[in-house]
Amino acid sequence: MDTKKSYFKYLAGLLLFGSNGVVASYIHLSSYEIVFLRSVLGAALLLGLFFLTGHRFTALRHKKDLLFIAVSGIAMAADWLFLFEAYARIGVSLGMLINYTGPAIVIALSPLILKERITFAKVAELAAALLGAFFISGQAVIEGISAWGLLCAGLSAAAYAVMVLSNKLAQEITGTENAGIQLFCTAVVVAVFVGWKQGLSMEIPSGDWLFVLQLGLFNTGVGCYCYFSAIGDLPAQSVAISGYLEPLSAVMLSVLILHETMTPLQIAGAALIIGGAACGNLL
């Protein structure tokens, strides 16, 4: 695939993910119901695209990798459930920024799980991310922002780390097949959770359907297709650095569209998380 085309698709996927919180803010359902609809619609579209493009599943030939992807899908369900609850409690910008301490957790655990060598630059990135999260959360606590919302954002970061590490252990199942299986597992887990919590029957306001379809089919289905079909054709360094377009776009959109505000200390925390990550991948 042409590198420029892959890069465009990757950036498009990141921007779609970055707008998830803004789109979800227009849906008058619980965070759990939003995640349920998102995962089911996204999985249906991605699996449909997989078959329509002439692909066939190879996952049963690699049962160990399939198990890792299933664990990754369960973790992604937890990530989304906690993250969208954080959006509802503390806002899109703060929720997304705390969630993006997840890559720092991956860095801390990768030497143990993936046997990767940790460098000084990665240690500096980890320290910057944790300090940035401390600035953001500390200021939020002082202002009386929901402690449960902050905890949900932190738990979403931990679930993100489990998702990434589990997925990286799956070496043979890649691309759209990987994404489709993972989204399917996510949808099943979320369906079980929502069914246990409140039942699967829900009333969607007529004015919300457009945003539900946008979040599920476009932001999630198309977004995952763009993301997972492009990263294999791009240099790892470009993927790592460009990936921070997602939280940056989420913060900008929440400020411009939802009129969320951040204090100078929280802005400094955001700069530490995003800037530290970018420098850690450049050095």
CA Rg, the chain, in Å? 18
Residue ranges of the alpha helices (H) in the chain? Answer: 3-18, 20-24, 31-52, 63-90, 92-99, 102-113, 120-142, 147-168, 175-197, 209-213, 223-230, 236-242, 245-256, 264-282
Contact 47, 184 (CB under 8 A): yes
Per-residue pLDDT of the chain (283 residues; tens, 9 = 90+): 567 788 888 889 889 998 999 999 999 999 999 999 999 999 999 888 888 887 788 888 889 999 999 999 999 999 999 999 999 998 888 888 888 788 778 777 878 887 777 777 767 767 777 787 777 777 666 677 888 999 999 999 999 889 888 887 887 887 778 888 989 999 999 999 999 988 888 889 999 999 999 999 999 988 888 877 776 666 554 565 566 778 778 888 888 898 888 778 778 877 887 777 666 655 5
**Can you read off the two tokens belonging to residue 113?**
């799980």
pTM: 0.83
Angle at 147 between CA 143 and CA 149, to 5 degrees: 105
Length of the chain: 283
